Amino acid sequence: MKIKSILLSILLLISLLSLSSCFETIEEINLNNDGSGRMVLTFNGSQSKAKLASIMKLKSVNGHRVPSIPEINSELAQTAAQLKAIPGISNVKTNADFQNYIISVSFDFKEVSQINQAFSKMLTAYKIPTYNAATYVYNKSTKTFTKTYQLNPATKKQYNELKQEDKDVFKSAQYTSVYRFQSLVKSVANAKASVSASKKAVMHKTPILNIVNSGASVNNSIQLQ
Amino acid sequence: MKKLYYILLCGIMVPVAAKAQQSAIPAPRDAKFVLEYNLPFIFTQTSPERLNLSEIGSQMYEALLVKNKNYESEPDINKSGIDHSRKAYMHIVSTDSIEYTVRLLPVKNMDLFKQSIEINAKTEQSKVDKGTFYNLKYRDLAFIPNAGDYAVLVSSSSTYKAFDDSARAERWGIEYDKGYGWDGATTTEIAPPEEWDTTTEAYAVADAAEAVPVEVEIAPPPPPVVSARDAAREAARAASEAAEAAAEAAAAVADTVVYTEGYDEDDDAVDSAASAVEYTYNDSEYEAYQSKKDSIFNIWMKDFVTGFVNENKDSYSRLQQLKDFEAPQKNSAATFYMNSMGFNVRDLYGMYGFFGMNRYNKNQEAVKLNDNWSMIQLNFATDAIQLNATSRLTDQMSKSSNRIYKRKFNKKFNKYINSQTDIGVMGMAMNTKNYLEETPVIVKEVMSTFGAWADESALIADLFGIVIDEKAIGKVIWGDGAFVMTNVKEKEYQSIKYKWDEESYESSEEEVTEKEMLPNFLLMFDTKDEAIIKKILDFGVKKNAYQVNNNIYVAKKLSGRYDPFEYFCTVKDGIVFIGTELQEIENIQKGIHRGSVSGADKKLMKNNAVFGWFHPKRLVGKFAQSDDDNLKMIRVNNMLNSLGVMQFHSGKVKNNKVKADFNLMTPNSRANSFEYLMYLIDDLKHL
C-alpha cells in the first residue's frame, strides 16, 4: 500500500514538473439548407496522452479530483440521455477512446436553435452557468448562419482566480470550429476564419486563451449564396 | 523541592512565567493540538527584517501569532509588539459542543500589540480581577492581564453543533428551529452557564450588532454559588435582550437605507420591494438568533480563559503530565503535539459522521481514549532541516508494531540499489506473517477506541484470522522489499492529429510520434515460495495477461486503455522483480548487478524498519523543454539544483515510542538552514 502511494506521489511530481498540457477541442457543424444538420464535438488529448494516463492513475491533481474511466463513461451516457430528450435531436452518439484520450459527442438536429437548447441543458447538468454557452442562429430566408459568444466577466474572473498550475493547462490548448454547408459561402464576418477551396466550409482555429481573453474572437456570421 | 516544583508548575500557564520555565508547555493536558513557537531560537537564525522580506516567513508570522492583523501598510513584524525573546504558544481544546483556539503571546510593547489586533478606544471591553477582556472582530476575544506582558487570544469554531443537545439549548434559551428565520421572533431568557462555579467570574455580554453598541453593566464578582448564578442569569438576560434590541434597531436602520447611486427605480421597483419584504424579515430573526448565540459563546470563552488564568484548580492538568512526555529540542523552531486525550466522538466521526457512524453514538458519549500522543518538531541543524516525529503507542500497539517490524532488510537487495545513480529509493523490512497475525489485534484495539461496533469488529477480526493462512502468505511475501526510481528517460508514443482537407475541411486522422520524459521503476520483494509466484505468473500467461520469454514475464497492455509504462517481471534468487525497463530485468536475469550502496545508505538500511532517500538534483534537465516556457523550465531546474538529499527513516518501537525522521540536507553553500527553508518555500510558491 505504501509502495503504491509512493509511486502515485512520484507520478504526481512528474506530471506537475512536466509543464503545460496540450489538447484541442473541435466543434463541427454540417448544416443543410433547411436548417437541419449534425454537430460533432471532440476533445482530443492524445498529444498529452502519456501525461493524462499518468494523471488517471491518481485520485487528484492540483487539488482537483481525477474522474475514473467508468465515471467518465457514465457522465457521457448521461449527456447522451439528456440530449436525446430534447425534441428535434436524434442519432446521439458518444465515444470515449482511452487509447488516445479522444472523447466525442455527436447528434443530429432539425433546427439550429436545438443546438442552443442542447448546450444549455448540458451546461446546466454540469452546473456551469448557461451564460457560458454560445448562441447559434440560422436564418433560412437570408441564408445567414451566426455564432455569437458573449464572454461573461464572471467567466474571466473565474479563470483569473485559477492557480497558475491550473492556468497552465490552457496555455497550449486549441479550439477549432468547422462549419460545412450545402450552399456556397458568400461572405465571412470573422477575418481570422478561412473558407475551404470548395467554398462550402469555414474553419477557424484559435488558442483557447484567446476565447478566455476575448469571447468575441470566436464570433462569426456566415452569409451563404 | 516538591513545593517549588508545584509553584513553578502553577505559573507555566502564562508566558511571563514561561520565561523562567522555558521547557514547560503552557497548555492543558486535554488540548488536542498544541504548538510551541520557539521565537528565541528562530530569531537567532534570522532577523525580523529578513523574516519580513520572506513571503512565507511574514505570512506564517501573521497567521500563527497575530490572527487579527491590522497593519496599515505592508506587514511589519517589528510592529507586532510581540516579544521575540520568549516563546509563544497555541493550543486547541475541543469540548462536546465547541472548539477553542487559544494563542498565548508574549508581549513587549502592548500599545503596538493592541494596534495589531485592532484594539482601540471603541473596542468593547470588560475588566475583571486579573485583567481586561476585549471583544474583537469575528467573535474573537483577547485577554490582557494587568501586568500587560502577555496576551491571550481566543477564537471559537466548530460551533455548528453547540446547541444540538436540546437540554443544553433549553438551558441557554436557544430554540434551534428558530435559527433560520422560518418563524416569528422569539423571546427567551438566557440561563446561567452549565459549568458555572464559584471560581468563575460573571460576565455581562453586550454582543450586539456592531453598528449599534450597547453598554451593559458588568455584574459583580460572585461570592456564593447561588448569587453568582443569579448574577450570571441577570447579566446574560440583559445581554440577550440588548442583542435582540440591537438587531431590531439594525434591521430598522437597514429598512430606511436609500440607494441613490446608480439605481434605476423604474427597472427594479417591483422586484426589489418584494425581496426587501422577504429578506428583511428573515435576516433580522436570523441575526437575532446569531447574536444570541454569539453572546453565549462569548460567555463560554471568557469562562474558559478565566479557567486557565486562574489555573490553580486541582482539575487543571497540563501537557507535561502526558505519559512519557518529551519536551522540544533546543533547535526546534516549532513543535506540534497531537494528543488523543483531547479528541471527542465528534472529532473522530467528523462533521457529518464517518459513514454515518455517529448516528449510533451520541456526541456526549465518552471515547475510550488512551494516553497516546504524537509530536512533530521542526528542527534546524547546521547541515539539515529536520522533521522529527515521535508517537507514543499503547502497550498493545507497541507489542504489535515490534512484531510486525521484526525483520532485517535483505542484504541481497543491495545488489540492485545504486546510491550513485538512483533518483530515489524506499525500503521496508516487515514480517508479513506477523503483520497478518497482528492485524486483527490492531483492528480490535482501534475499534474499541471508537466505542462503536466493538463486538462486530472483534468478530470480523477473528474471522479474518481464521480465513487467512498467515504462514503461507508470509512465505510468498516475506515482508521486506524496496522500490527504486532508477532513472528518467525519454519515451515515444503515437498521438492522433487531425488533418484537414483543404477542399472540404473534412478531417482525417494522422498518427504523430510524440516524446515524453517518464521515470523508470524497479520494485523487488523477498519470497520463500518461488514456486507459487511462478504458478501465478504462468496462470496469467495462460489467461493471456502476460507473455513470457527467457523467464521474463511481460504484462500485456489492457485493451482500450493507454498506459505509458511497460511492466516486466522476473524471479531470481528468491526475489521477485517488477520493473518498467526491459534492459534492467534482462540484466537481473543474467546475473549482472547494478548495485553500489554507500556506507551511509547501508547504515540507514540496517538500522531502520522503513527508510528512503531522494536526490532531486538528479532530476535536473530531465524534463522536456517547452519552447513557450523556457523560463519556467529554468526555474524548475534551479529549484531542483538547490535541493539537497531528502532522507527519511523510522525504526522500531522503544519504550512505547516510535520515531520517524525526515531530513532535507542543506547544500554546502547555505550556512543557515532556517533561512534556506524560508527562501526555498518562497521560490516554490513562484515556480
Kindly tell me the sign of the dihedral angle through the C-alpha atoms of A84, A89, A90, A94: negative
Q: Are B681 and B643 in contact (CB under 8 A)?
A: no
Contact A47 B495 (CB under 8 A): yes
ipTM of the complex as predicted: 0.86
Task: Give whichever of A167-171, B74-78, B123-127, B412-416 has the largest mean pLDDT.
Answer: B412-416
- Look at residue B507 in the predicted model and tell me its pLDDT: 93
Cα gap A73→A67, rounded to integer Å: 10
Residue B445, SS3? helix
Chain B residues within 8 A of A99 when measuring between CB atoms? 560-562
**What per-residue confidence (pLDDT) applies to B74?**
58
More confident residue, A139 or B307: A139
How much is the pLDDT for B270? 34
pLDDT over 70 at B547, yes or no = yes
Question: How many alpha carbons lie under 13 Å from residue A43 in its C-beta half-sphere?
Answer: 14
CA of B496 vs chain A CAs: smallest distance (Å):
6
For residues B84-107, average pLDDT: 87
Picking from B480, B562, B565, B683 by the largest number of A CB atoms within 10 A of its own CB, the best residue to mutate is: B562
Confidence of residue B347 (pLDDT cuts 50, 70, 90): low
Ranges of H-type helices in B567-672 = 582-590, 599-607, 630-642
What residues in chain A have per-residue pLDDT under 50? 1-8, 10-19
Give the pLDDT band (50/70/90) at residue B95.
confident
Decide if B505 and A201 are in contact by the 8 Å CB cutoff. yes
Residue B494 CA, distance from chain mean position: 43
User: Which range (A162-171, B112-121, B240-249, B461-470) has the least confidence?
Assistant: B240-249
A167 inside 8 A of chain B by CB: no
Residue type, B88: A
Most confident option among A161-175, B505-519, B617-631: B505-519
Q: How far apart are CA A58 and CA A54, in angstroms?
A: 7
- pLDDT tier at B540, thresholds 50, 70, 90: very high
**Integer angstrom CA distances of residue B452 from A36, A109, B335:** 62, 57, 33
Q: Residue B633: which of A19, A196, A200 has the nearest Cβ?
A: A19
The lowest-confidence range among A141-145, A162-166, B254-258, B663-667 is B254-258
Residue A34: C-alpha distances to residues A140, A183, B282 (Å):
7, 11, 54
- Chain A residue numbers with beta carbons less than 8 Å from the beta carbon of B428 are 2
Q: How confident is the model at residue B193 (pLDDT cuts 50, 70, 90)?
A: very low
**Integer angstrom CA distances of residue B26 from B10, B37, B91, B316, B322:** 10, 12, 9, 11, 13
pLDDT value at position B348?
A: 54
**B289 alpha carbon, distance to own chain's centre:** 32
Measured CA to CA, the distance from residue B643 to residue B684 in angstroms comes to 11
How far is CA B674 from each of CA A12, A156, A167, B56, B90, rounded to the nearest angstrom?
A: 27, 40, 32, 12, 21
Cβ atoms B64, B82 nearer than 8 A: no
What is the structure's pLDDT at B442? 87
Q: At residue B413, does pLDDT exceed 90?
A: yes
Q: Searching chain B, which residue's CA lies closest to the CA of residue A182?
A: B504
Q: Quick one: closest CA in A to B492, which residue?
A: A50
Spatial separation of the C-alpha atoms in residues B576 and B526, rounded to whole Å: 6
Please compute the mean of the pLDDT values over residues B20-32 and round it to a whole number: 69
- Whether residues A54 and B502 touch (CB distance < 8 A) is answered with no
Out of B8-12, B177-181, B324-328, B548-552, the most confident range is B548-552
Distance CA B666, CA A1 (A): 30
| pLDDT average, residue stretch B290-295 | 79
> So what's the pLDDT on residue B626?
57
- In the structure grid, which three cell numbers stand for residue A80, read together? 447522451
Q: Does A182 touch chain B (CB under 8 A)?
A: no
pLDDT in tens, B312-346: 544 445 777 788 888 898 889 999 998 876 666 55
Among A64-68, A204-208, B280-284, B513-517, which is the least confidently predicted range? B280-284
User: Quick one: pLDDT at residue B68?
Assistant: 47
Instruction: Indicate the DSSP class of residue B117.
Output: T
* Nearest-by-Cβ selection for A6 from B483, B516, B636: B483
Is the CB of A10 less than 8 angstroms away from the CB of B519?
Answer: yes
CB contact under 8 A, A196 and B623: no
CB pairs under 8 A between A and B: 106
Closest alpha carbon to A16 in A172, A169, A173:
A169
CA B260 to chain centre: 48
Question: Is the CB of residue B510 less than 8 Å away from at least one CB of chain A?
Answer: no
Residue where the block lists cell 426589489: B272
Q: Which of A119-128, B213-222, B511-520, B636-645 has the lowest mean pLDDT?
A: B213-222
**Pairing mode, if any, of strands A220-224 and B33-37?**
unpaired
The amino acid sitting at A20 is S
Question: Residue B519: its chain A contacts at CB < 8 A?
Answer: 10-11, 14
Residue-by-residue DSSP string for chain A: -HHHHHHHHHHHHHHHHT-----EEEEEEEE-TTS-EEEEEEEE-GGGHHHHHHHTTSSEETTEEPPPHHHHHHHHHHHHHHHHTSTTEEEEEEEEEBTTTEEEEEEEESSTHHHHHHHHHHHHHTT--GGGS-EEEEETTTTEEEEE----HHHHHHHHTS-HHHHHTTTT-EEEEEEEESSPEEEES-TT-EE-TTSSEEEEEEEHHHHHH-GGGG-EEEEE-
> Per the structure block, which three cell numbers stand in for B645?
538529499
Which sequence spans correspond to the domains of chain A?
2-224
- Give the residue among B471, B463, B470, B469 at the shortest CA–CA distance from B443: B463
List CB contacts (< 8 A) between A18 and chain B. Answer: 516-517, 623-624
Residues 80-139, chain B: which have Cβ within 8 Å of A? none
Confidence of residue B16 (pLDDT cuts 50, 70, 90): very low
Q: What's the confidence (pLDDT) of residue B558? A: 75
Residue range B480-505, pLDDT digits in tens: 999 999 999 888 888 999 999 999 99
Q: Nearest Cα to B307, choosing from B154, B170, B191?
A: B154
Q: Which residues of chain A does B486 touch, with a Cβ-Cβ cutoff of 8 Å? A: none
The grid coordinates of residue B389 equal 516525529
Q: Closest Cα of chain A to B623: distance in Å? A: 6
pLDDT at A186: 95
pLDDT of A105-134, one tens digit each?
Answer: 999 999 999 999 998 888 887 777 766 778
**Higher-pLDDT residue of A2, B424:** B424
- Please say whether the beta carbons of A101 and A24 come within 8 A: no
The yes-or-no verdict on residue B5 having pLDDT over 50 is: no
At B41-84, the pLDDT tens digits run 999 998 888 888 888 888 888 776 665 454 455 567 888 889 99
Report chain B residues whose CB lies below 8 A from the CB of A24: 498
B251-265, B304-318, B668-682 — most confident range: B668-682
Closest-CA residue of B relative to A203 is B505
Q: What is the mean pLDDT of residues B240-246?
A: 48
Identify all chain B residues contacting A19, using CB atoms and an 8 Å cutoff. 623-624, 626, 629, 632-633
Q: Does A49 touch chain B (CB under 8 A)?
A: yes
Q: How far is B632 from chain A (nearest CA, A)?
A: 8
The whole-number pLDDT of residue B235 equals 46
Average predicted confidence (pLDDT) for chain B: 75
CA atoms within 13 A on the CB side of A171: 15
Q: Residue B306 — pLDDT band, cuts 50, 70, 90?
A: confident
Interface residue B507 vs chain A (CB under 8 A): yes
Q: Chain B residues with CB inside 8 Å of A51's CB?
A: 516
pLDDT higher than threshold 80 for residue B449: no
Residue of B486, B494, B495 best to disrupt the A interface, most CBs of A under 10 A: B495
Per cent of chain B over pLDDT 70 is 70
The answer to whether B496 contacts A44, with C-beta atoms less than 8 Å apart, is yes
Alpha carbons within 13 angstroms on the beta-carbon side of residue B7 total 5
Q: Would the CB atoms of B496 and A196 count as touching at under 8 Å? A: no
Instruction: Identify which of A98, A102, A201 has the shortest CB distance to residue B504.
Output: A201
Residue B343, pLDDT score? 67
pLDDT in tens, B557-613: 877 788 888 999 999 999 999 999 999 999 999 999 999 999 999 999 999 999 999
Q: Which helix (H) or strand (E) holds B460?
A: helix B454-467
Looking at residue A126, its pLDDT comes to 73
Closest alpha carbon within chain A to B629: A19
By the 8 A CB rule, do B210 and B199 touch?
no
